[in-house]
Amino acid sequence: MGLLGGSFDPAHAGHAHLSREALKRFALDQLWWLVSPGNPLKQAGPAPLDQRMARARQVMQHPRVRITDLETHLGTRHTAKTLARLQALYPGVRFVWLMGADNLADLHRWQDWKSITRRVPLGVLARPSSQMQALFGCAARSLRAARIAGSASRSLGRQRAPAWCFARMPLRAHSSSAIRHAGGWHDGRG
């Protein structure tokens, strides 16, 4: 099962595209969007959770994708803690953490990032302008021996962590930040 976490502030077609590609490229049976109560790495808080959940449900309509606010119910805000709780609640489920290449580039800044890589395989999908930074960044260098070839991406969910795979996909230049800055998202903050 794939897990795609984020603030989704706002959710957009790029998130939906990444999700459909992840289902296909990593042979996932399901994918859960974990719409976070907030991103600990960002200064400003996101739009209200109910707005972000509603927008996510509009943007991503797929029979194998579920939009959730599990972190709110679990009381977690950091991926490592969320994964620990999910693995305790669902001991038989094999999770794959999904992220865009931009997040792999910053992974070393996440709380307990090494425990994340020891818990679950990582499915990394190409994003515009961050591929090189991600592939040669701190986390990628640290996990060099755990990388599996893109041609083996469909086996990622069966791999023991640490394991990660970088999958190239047709790129789309959607960005939540750009949507917010262009005024295309009313977030109720101002």
> Which pLDDT value is given to residue 61?
94
Domains of the chain (ranges, CATH numbers): 2-181 (3.40.50.620)
Q: What mean pLDDT, rounded, does the chain reach?
A: 88
Alpha-carbon gap, residue 144 to 140, rounded angstroms? 6
**Rounded mean pLDDT, 122-132:** 78
pLDDT at 58 over 50: yes
**Rounded mean pLDDT, 152-173:** 89
Alpha-carbon gap, residue 119 to 112, rounded angstroms? 11
3-state helix, strand and coil shares in percent for the chain, rounded to the nearest 5 = 45, 15, 40
Q: Is 8 left (phi over 0), alpha (psi -120 to 50) or beta?
A: left
Q: Which of 56-70, 82-96, 167-181 has the lowest mean pLDDT?
A: 167-181
Highest averaged pLDDT of the listed ranges 43-47, 120-124, 167-171, 182-186 = 120-124
Q: What is the DSSP letter of 35?
A: E
